[in-house]
Chains A and B, each alone.
Chain A
Amino acid sequence: AQSVAQPEDQVNVAEGNPLTVKCTYSVSGNPYLFWYVQYPNRGLQFLLKYITGDNLVKGSYGFEAEFNKSQTSFHLKKPSALVSDSALYFCAVRDQTGANNLFFGTGTRLTVIP
């Protein structure tokens, strides 16, 4: 069975500082990994994905994520946080049985402090 874990419920960072939101995964075989963001009372917006290739993936709004196979991690990063980045972030892994659905983590609430 595949799954992702987000060990931090809440991350606080000062505006302008780098941010990291952590995610670890558990799959058999090669993972397809995703990050989504959810603003209050809204649906999920796609940020980036790792399928294969370069371990550093660049996505929307200046976010990037680093795939680390040895540590089974896929941490989301941004060099300089903005107050508008405050939201709920979800890591997800694709179902490998072929149904094309995603298994989501429990989410990490990011608060960027002005």
Chain B
Amino acid sequence: ETGVTQSPTHLIKTRGQQVTLRCSSQSGHNTVSWYQQALGQGPQFIFQYYREEENGRGNFPPRFSGLQFPNYSSELNVNALELDDSALYLCASSSFSGATGELFFGEGSRLTVL
């Protein structure tokens, strides 16, 4: 069984640039969620994708967008980067049919915005 994998693991961008982060879901999972974890904070929900459509969104501006592909992998795109976007971005996969809400996380992509 393959777990959740994310790429890249680390990256540095400058303010105003755009970034794309990628996630491959765990085998058998059809739902992908993205979280932002700022330094010293708990993860905060960005959005979730199910069947290639957004299925819920947290309190993040539209410059945070995403995609889900037919193989259930996903991308997180952030436009017009701001300094406060510096964080660990976590992808989590799950089975949508599972009402228990258990999420399986990747190791994250650490974004630094200068």
Contact = CB atoms under 8 A, between A and B. Distances in A.
Q: How large is the interface on B (under 10, 10 to 19, 20 to 34, 35 or more residues)?
A: 20 to 34
Q: How large is the interface on A (under 10, 10 to 19, 20 to 34, 35 or more residues)?
A: 20 to 34
Interface string B80-114: 00000000001010101011111111111010000
Nearest to A46: B102
A94 B58 CA distance: 13
Interface of B: 4, 6, 31, 33, 40-45, 48, 55-56, 58, 90, 92, 94, 96, 98-108, 110
Contacts of A95: 45, 56, 101
A42 B107 contact: yes
A104 B44 contact: yes
B58 A101 contact: yes
B42 A45 contact: no
A49 B103 CA distance: 11
B100 A45 contact: no
5 contacts: A34-B101, A34-B102, A90-B43, A92-B42, A99-B56
